[in-house]
Amino acid sequence: MTNETSTEERLAAQLRGFGPLGLLSILIILGGNFLFSPLSAILVVVWVSLSRTPWREIGYVWPQSWARTLALGIIFGVAFKFLMKAIVMPLLGAPPINQAYHWVAGNPASLPRMLFLMIVVAGWGEETFYRGWMFERLGKLLGTSVWAKVAIVALTSIPFALLHYVDQGKAGMEQALMTGLTFGTIFALTGRIFLVMVLHAAFDLAALAMIYWDCETAVAHFFFK
């Protein structure tokens, strides 16, 4: 073993741990999205590489069938959004129109930006950060018991919900808390993140379609007039 290899391995071990360098890496990753999204997810990828953390530990496990993963994610994501919009959110008293993004309605110029946000920032970035990386870090601290996983799902869903309060208010926070708990539970049970990424992106794209075609109110009043 060369001195260079030994140094790289010590660095990797320190990044995986919770000493000064490990804590510094956590703070840097946590602060990434304050500069721009999805910087935190990009930093997670860099951290995994430098720390020599196995990719499977953040859920990057290649699907046995991409076709099945895409189909399940899209179908469940769209159905989940309809369920939230038509039943759950009306029961919580949420307004039928998402005013934060109503400017997208009938606005084709907004679509490139929104598609990037839905697929890259939300589908890939938020899942890599909130589910993949946070589950790995908290799992190292709390363990892998059932109760530890329940706690991790809850702990990761709270900041995910608060993130959505900033631009979408109380209703956005409530929806994000429930979606975070759902996505987190699926990830906790499977340990695979690509299905959750597709599900998340499909959920947001379904929301985008409802806004763009200005049918939010119709969906929100589908069951409750």
**Crossing angle between the packed helical segments 20-35 and 3-16, to the nearest 10 degrees:** 70
DSSP secondary structure code for residue 106 in this structure:
T
**Distance between CA atoms of 55 and 32, rounded to whole angstroms?**
20
- What does pLDDT average to over the chain? 95
Helices 146-190, 134-142: crossing angle, 10 deg rounding: 150
Confidence of residue 4 (pLDDT cuts 50, 70, 90): low
Angle at 50 between CA 48 and CA 53, to 5 degrees: 40
For 55-97, write each residue's pLDDT tens digit.
999 999 999 999 999 999 999 999 999 999 999 999 999 999 9
Q: Is the pLDDT of residue 3 over 70?
A: no
Alpha carbons 197 and 119: distance in angstroms, whole number: 8
Identity (one letter) of the amino acid at 111? L
The whole-angstrom separation of Cα 84 and Cα 225 is: 16
Q: Which residues contact 198 (CB under 8 A, 6 or more apart)?
A: 69, 70, 72, 73, 74, 77, 123
CB 127 within 8 A of CB 160: no
Any residues with CB less than 8 A from the CB of 125 and at least 6 apart, and which?
37, 38, 40, 41, 42
Q: What is the pLDDT of residues 94-114, one digit of tens each?
A: 999 999 999 999 999 999 999
Average the pLDDT over 3-9 and give the result. Answer: 77
Phi-psi sector, 122: left (phi>0), alpha (psi -120 to 50), beta: alpha
Task: For residue 183, give the H/E element and its range.
Answer: helix 146-190
Q: Residue 150 above 70 pLDDT?
A: yes
pLDDT over 70 (residue 1): no
| 207 backbone dihedrals φ, ψ, rounded to 5° | -65, -40
